[in-house]
Amino acid sequence: MNDPCSLCNLVFQCWACIGGPDRSTYVCNLEQNRTSLSDRLEKLKALRNDVERKVDKAERSGMTRTDQVDHWLQRVQEKEGEAQKILDQCSQRIAKDCHCLGDYCPKNCCTSYKLGKQVALLLPNVGELINEGNDFKSSEVAYRRMTQPGEEVPLPATIKGMDLMLEKVRSCIRENQAAGTIGLYGTGGVGKTTLLKKINNEFLVKTADNSDFDAVIWAVVSKELNTAQIRKQIGDQLGITRKEDANQVAEATDIFRLLNRQKKFLLLLDDVWERVDLEEIGIPHPSTVTESNNKSKVIFTTRSEKVCGEMEAKKIFKVECLRDDEAWNLFEEKVGEDTLNCDPDIRQLHAITVLQKSPAKFSGMEEKVFSRLKYSYDALADDKVKSCFLYCSLFPEDYDIEIEGLIKYWIGEGFIKGNEEMREAMNEGYDIIETLKRACLLEPGGNDNYIDIRKYVKMHDVIRDMALWIVNDYGRNDKKQHLVVRYEELMDKLIFKRQGANRIFMLPPRPPYNNSERDAEQQQIQDEVVVPPDEDYPNLIPIATFLVAFGPREEFPTSLFRSTKSLRVLDLSGVSFGKVEFPTEIVELAELEYLNLSFTNIKELPYELGNLRKLRYLNLYRTRDLHVVSVEGILKLLDLQYLNLFHSKFRDWEMEGRSRLMEVFEALKHLTDFGVTISSDTCLQSWSNSYKLQKYTTGLCLENYKANSFRITTTTLEDMFLEKLEFYKCEKLRDISWRMETKKWSALRPERLLLHIVHLPKLEIIELPHMCLQNIQYIYINNCMVLEELTWLRHTHKLEELRLLNLPRLKRIINVEEMLIPFSNLKSIWLYHLPALEDIYPGALPLPCLKEIRLKECPKLKKLPFDSNTAKNDTLMRIEGSKEWWE
C-alpha cells in the first residue's frame, strides 16, 4: 500500500501545477496561518486600546481627535470583526472536518481552500494596521481646534422697549448665583427671542475679554423637541463635531465632559415648548456643577409660564408688550416721517382704524402675526380649554373680565360640567384660567385701583384679534360670530343680516356729549330704538348667547327675545325693565340654561319660570325690588344647579309656620350652590339644623332679623363651602355667636370668605369659629354704633382687605399684642369716620403685603403701626389722609 502522505503530496503537486503554488499553500498552511492571524489580532486589539485611551485623555481636555486616527480606528473596528469571524470558522473546520487518507488530507478541500485564502490575505492587512498604530505612540492623536466661545446672532435693525428687561436679566445673570436657570416667558411675538439674542451678543463680547463666561452657546429648541438636533447645535459650537457634517451628532457624554471642565458657560435655549432634559443633552445642571463652575447659567424662552416650572427655573421674567408710547415710536420709525406727514389725520385715524375694524385683513397679519400666535392656541391641552379661550374674545377690547363670572359663563355654555357639584366645575374653571394665563393667552386684569387684581383677567388686543380670526374660520368667514354692539346699534337691521353673529355682547349707550344739541340727538336715538316685527329679523334666531354690560338707568327692550328662541345663555344683570314686574318673554326661551338677572329691578318671579326646564343657573343676586317669588315655579326647575337669592328683598321662606328651604333642596336634587337671604328665626334654625343646607350654601345673608342675638352651633363645617356671610339691618341684634363642634373647615377655591356687618346699631359682641376666621379675606363693617373693639381680627390670618366705617365708639382695632403677628396678608385698610379710634395695634406690624391705607375723619389716630420693617417689600403705594391728619 502506498504512503498516504505521498498520495496527498501528489494531489497537491498536481493542484499546484494547475493553479499555481500559492493556492496549494492556502490548504497546507491553514492551521499555521490561523495561529499567526490570531496572534496579530490580539496585538491589534491591545494597540487599539492604547490609542483609544490616548484619544479619550485628549478629548477630556477639550481637544478633537485627528482625522487620521479617527479613520484608523474605524478600519481597525472593521478588520477586527472580519478577522474574528474567519478565525471562528477555521476553528470549527479544523475541529469537525473528517480527513481521508488517514489524517493527512481534508475531506472538503474546497472549503479549506476558501478559508485558507481568506486567512492568508488578512495577515498582511492586520500587520499593516499594527504598523500604522505603532506610529501613534509617538505622534499626536488629537488637536485643539481654534473655536470661538460662541457665535454672534443677527438682530432686528430696530429694537424698542428692551432696555429695562435686559437690565433685569443682566443683573440676575451677574449677581444672583442661586438663579442657575432663568426663564423668560411671554406671548408669541412679544420679543423674547430678540431679548435672548441681545443677551447672547452682549455676553459673547464679554467672553472675549474673559469677563463673564468661557463659552456662550445658542440653541433653538422649537415646538417638536429633538434632543439629537440640540446636541448637534451645541456640539458644533463647542468644536466637538463639524458643522459641515450634517450626520455627525455629539454624544451627551462628550458635551458633559467638555462643559464640566469649563469654569463658566452660558447656555441659551430659544423657543422651548416643553421640559428639556438637560441631562439627556449632556448639560451639567447649574445647581449641581462643581464649585468652580457654580456661575454657569441656563436661560430659555417660552410662551408658557408652566414650562418655567417644568424647567425648574429659579428666576422667572415675563416679557411684556410694548407700552403705547414705545409702540407708537416703533410705528413712526417703520412708516417714516414722510408717510406720517402726508396727511394731518393719519397719526390718529388711519392705521388705528384699519387695525381695529379688520385686523385680519391688514397686510401680513395672518401670515406674520396670527399664524405664529396660533402655536400657543394649538398647544392647549384639549378642545375644552380652546373653547374657553375663544369665548373670551366675545368681550370688548381692554375689558376687565371677572374670573368668577367668566367661569359661570363657561358652565352655562356647557364647556365645563361638574360631575356632581357646581364647585367641581368652578374648580376646573380656575384651573383653565391658570392654564391660559401661563400660556400668556390671558393676562391679569384691573389696574392700580384694583387691590385684588386676581379677580379679573383680560385679553391683549392682538390675542383677541387672533381669537376672533380663529372663531371666524381663520378669516374665511366674513360674518362675525362674536359681535360687540352698542345699545343704539342693537336694532340696526343691517347688523344682524350682515354679521350673522351667534354670540352678542351689548355695551351701554355712548355717554352724553357736553354739547346740549348732541345730547338731545343722542337721547332721540335711544328713544327711537324699537323692535320690529319678528318676521323682519329672521337672522336673530341662531343667537345662542346674549350678554349685556348695562348701567342702572337704561331700560331694556325685552320684546327682542320674541325672536331669539334659541338663546342658551342670557345675562341681563344691571338692566332696568321699567315698570314691568317681570319680562314675560324670558319664560318662552325653552333652550335657556343660564339666566342672570342680578342687580335688576324685577319685582316678581312668576310660576311660569318653571317652563325653563333646561335651566341650570339662575342668579337673582341683589334684586332689591324682588318681593314675590313663586317657590312652586322654582320647584319645577329640576336641573337647577345654581340658585342665588343672596341680598335679595325676597326672604319669606315660611309657609304656615314652617320653612320651605328644605322643600327646595328635597325637590332640586342637583342644587349644589345656593345663596339665600333669611330674616326669621324659624328659617335660621331650619338652616342650622340641616346638613345639606349648610353644605351647599355659598352665600348666607341675615337681613331684618328681629332677635337680640344670633346664636347657632354647627357640627358640619368640614363640608361647608361658605363664601359670603352678611348681617344687614338687624337693628336689635346685640351679639353674634357662631360656635362649631368640629375642627375642620373647607372652602371653595380660591379660599375666600367675605364678611359684611352693616347697620347693626346695637351690636357689641362678635364671636365666630376660629377656623372660620382663618378663611376670611374681606371684612366690611359699617354703622355699628356701640362696637368698641375688634380683637378677634387677630385670628384672620388670610385677611387681605379691611373696611371699617362709621363706628363711633371703636377705640382700638386689636388691643392685645400677639405672639403670632396679625395681618401678614393684609393689602388694603380703609378707616372712615372713626372719631374715637386711637390705635390700630399696640406695637409695630411688618405688613409685608400692604398696598394702601386710607384714613378719613379719624382725629384721635396719631400714629400708624409702622416702623423701619413695615412694608419692606416695597408694596406700599398709597397712604391717603386729610391735610389736617397729616399735620
When pLDDT is averaged across residues 416-432 and rounded to a whole number, the result is 84
- Residue 686 Cα to chain centre, angstroms: 44
Per the document, the length of the chain is: 887
Q: What pLDDT, on a 0 to 100 scale, did the predictor assign at position 503?
A: 86
Q: Distance between CA atoms of 579 and 558, rounded to whole angstroms? A: 12
Grid cell in block for residue 772: 372660620
**What backbone phi and psi angles, to 5 degrees, belong to 726?**
-135, 135
pLDDT of 348 > 80? The answer is: no
* Percent of the chain at pLDDT exceeding 70: 74
pLDDT of 211 > 70? The answer is: no
Q: Distance between CA atoms of 725 and 655, rounded to whole angstroms? A: 25
User: From residue 323, how far is each of 22, 83, 162, 328, 535 by CA, in Å?
Assistant: 90, 73, 11, 9, 49
When pLDDT is averaged across residues 792-814 and rounded to a whole number, the result is 92
Q: What pLDDT, on a 0 to 100 scale, did the predictor assign at position 175?
A: 79
Asked if 807 contacts 834 with a C-beta cutoff of 8 angstroms, the reply is yes
pLDDT band at 268 (very low <50, low <70, confident <90, very high): very high
Say which residue, 712 or 345, is predicted with more confidence: 712
* Percent of the chain at pLDDT exceeding 90: 27
pLDDT band at 537 (very low <50, low <70, confident <90, very high): very low
Contacts of 827 (CB under 8 A, 6+ apart): 451, 452, 800, 801, 849, 850, 851, 852, 875
Grid cell in block for residue 188: 408669541
SS3 of 344-384: CCCCCCHHHHHHHHCHHHCCCHHHHHHHHHHHHHHCCCCHH
Most confident of 173-182, 487-496, 866-875: 173-182
Q: Distance between CA atoms of 554 and 558, rounded to whole angstroms? A: 12
Say which residue, 425 or 497, is predicted with more confidence: 425
Kind and range of the H or E element at 613? none
Which residue, chain included where needed, has cell 352665600? 699
Asked if 150 contacts 237 with a C-beta cutoff of 8 angstroms, the reply is yes
**Average pLDDT of the chain to the nearest whole number:** 79
Q: Distance between CA atoms of 671 and 616, rounded to whole angstroms? A: 9
Q: Distance between CA atoms of 751 and 776, rounded to whole angstroms? A: 8
pLDDT of 231 > 50? The answer is: yes
Q: Does domain 358-465 have CATH number 1.10.3710.10?
A: no
Least confident of 80-94, 121-135, 387-401: 80-94
Q: Distance between CA atoms of 764 and 710, rounded to whole angstroms? A: 12
3-state secondary structure of 143: strand
When pLDDT is averaged across residues 831-855 and rounded to a whole number, the result is 90
Q: Distance between CA atoms of 512 and 502, rounded to whole angstroms? A: 30
- Residue 522 Cα to chain centre, angstroms: 44
Which residue, chain included where needed, has cell 365645563? 416
Q: Is 671 left (phi over 0), alpha (psi -120 to 50) or beta?
A: beta
pLDDT digits (tens, 9 = 90+) for 502-527: 888 888 777 664 545 444 444 444 44
- Helices (H) and strands (E) in the chain — how many of each? 27, 35
When pLDDT is averaged across residues 309-316 and rounded to a whole number, the result is 91
Is the dihedral angle over the CA atoms 208, 211, 213, 216 positive or is it negative?
negative
Q: Distance between CA atoms of 883 and 861, rounded to whole angstroms? A: 14
Asked if 607 contacts 580 with a C-beta cutoff of 8 angstroms, the reply is no
Which residue, chain included where needed, has cell 367675605? 754
Task: Give the residue extent of every domain in the chain.
Answer: 4-143, 163-318, 358-465, 788-887
Is the dihedral angle over the CA atoms 385, 386, 388, 392 positive or is it negative?
positive
pLDDT band at 719 (very low <50, low <70, confident <90, very high): low
Which residue, chain included where needed, has cell 331650619? 686
Q: Distance between CA atoms of 146 and 509, rounded to whole angstroms? A: 71
Grid cell in block for residue 474: 381663520
Q: What pLDDT, on a 0 to 100 scale, did the predictor assign at position 841?
A: 87
- Residue 543 Cα to chain centre, angstroms: 31
Least confident of 57-61, 65-69, 311-315, 354-358: 354-358
Q: Distance between CA atoms of 493 and 508, rounded to whole angstroms? A: 19
- The DSSP bridge partners found for residue 674 are 643, 697
Q: Distance between CA atoms of 747 and 728, rounded to whole angstroms? A: 23
Most confident of 146-150, 178-182, 581-585: 581-585
pLDDT of 795 > 80? The answer is: yes
Residue type, 194: T
Grid cell in block for residue 570: 342670557
Grid cell in block for residue 115: 478559508
Residue type, 170: R
Assigned fold of 163-318: Rossmann fold (3.40.50)
Q: Distance between CA atoms of 621 and 404, rounded to whole angstroms? A: 14
Burial 81-106 (b: 16+ CB within 10 A, else e): eebeebbebbeebeeeeeeeeeeebb
Q: What pLDDT, on a 0 to 100 scale, did the predictor assign at position 478?
A: 65
pLDDT band at 287 (very low <50, low <70, confident <90, very high): low
**Which class for 71: exposed (0-12), middle (13-18), buried (19 or more C-beta within 10 A)?**
exposed
pLDDT of 886 > 50? The answer is: yes
pLDDT band at 656 (very low <50, low <70, confident <90, very high): low
- The DSSP bridge partners found for residue 799 are none
Asked if 33 contacts 120 with a C-beta cutoff of 8 angstroms, the reply is yes
**What backbone phi and psi angles, to 5 degrees, belong to 740?**
-135, 145
- Residue 278 Cα to chain centre, angstroms: 22
User: From residue 664, how far is each of 243, 659, 668, 680 by CA, in Å?
Assistant: 75, 10, 6, 17
- Opening angle at CA 849, ends 453 and 836, nearest 5: 105
Q: Distance between CA atoms of 634 and 640, rounded to whole angstroms? A: 9
Q: Distance between CA atoms of 676 and 653, rounded to whole angstroms? A: 10
pLDDT band at 103 (very low <50, low <70, confident <90, very high): very low
Longest dimension (CA), the chain: 145
When pLDDT is averaged across residues 602-626 and rounded to a whole number, the result is 94
pLDDT band at 617 (very low <50, low <70, confident <90, very high): very high
CB atoms within 10 A of CB 394: 24
Which residue, chain included where needed, has cell 371699617? 804
Q: What pLDDT, on a 0 to 100 scale, did the predictor assign at position 91?
A: 75
Pairing of strands 828-832, 801-805: parallel
pLDDT digits (tens, 9 = 90+) for 108-144: 566 677 777 777 778 888 888 888 888 877 677 776 5
Grid cell in block for residue 60: 477630556
Sheet strands (E) in 631-752? 642-644, 654-655, 658-659, 673-678, 697-703, 709-714, 724-728, 735-740
Contacts of 777 (CB under 8 A, 6+ apart): 751, 752, 753, 754, 798, 799, 800, 801, 825
- Residue 785 Cα to chain centre, angstroms: 47
pLDDT band at 749 (very low <50, low <70, confident <90, very high): very low
**Nearest one of 717, 724, 767, 788 to 746, comparing CA atoms:** 717
- Residue 597 Cα to chain centre, angstroms: 32
Say which residue, 438 or 335, is predicted with more confidence: 438
User: From residue 59, how far is each of 54, 257, 280, 481, 497 by CA, in Å?
Assistant: 9, 9, 20, 63, 74
pLDDT band at 712 (very low <50, low <70, confident <90, very high): confident
Grid cell in block for residue 76: 481597525
What does DSSP assign to residue 861?
A: -
Inter-helix orientation angle 371-378/461-471, to 10°: 80
**Nearest one of 195, 48, 44 to 130, comparing CA atoms:** 44
pLDDT digits (tens, 9 = 90+) for 444-489: 887 655 545 568 999 988 889 889 888 887 767 666 788 787 777 7
Say which residue, 495 or 154, is predicted with more confidence: 154
Question: Could you please report the per-residue DSSP string of 155-172?
Answer: --S---S-HHHHHHHHHH
CB atoms within 10 A of CB 382: 7
**Which strands make up the sheet holding 709-714, listed edge to edge?**
709-714, 735-740, 765-767
pLDDT of 528 > 50? The answer is: no
**pTM greater than 0.75 (yes/no):** no
When pLDDT is averaged across residues 344-367 and rounded to a whole number, the result is 51
pLDDT of 352 > 60? The answer is: no
pLDDT of 360 > 60? The answer is: no
Which residue, chain included where needed, has cell 333669611? 678
Grid cell in block for residue 198: 441681545
pLDDT band at 429 (very low <50, low <70, confident <90, very high): very high
Most confident of 497-511, 537-551, 718-732: 718-732
Contacts of 709 (CB under 8 A, 6+ apart): 733, 734, 735, 736, 737
Q: Distance between CA atoms of 97 and 111, rounded to whole angstroms? A: 10
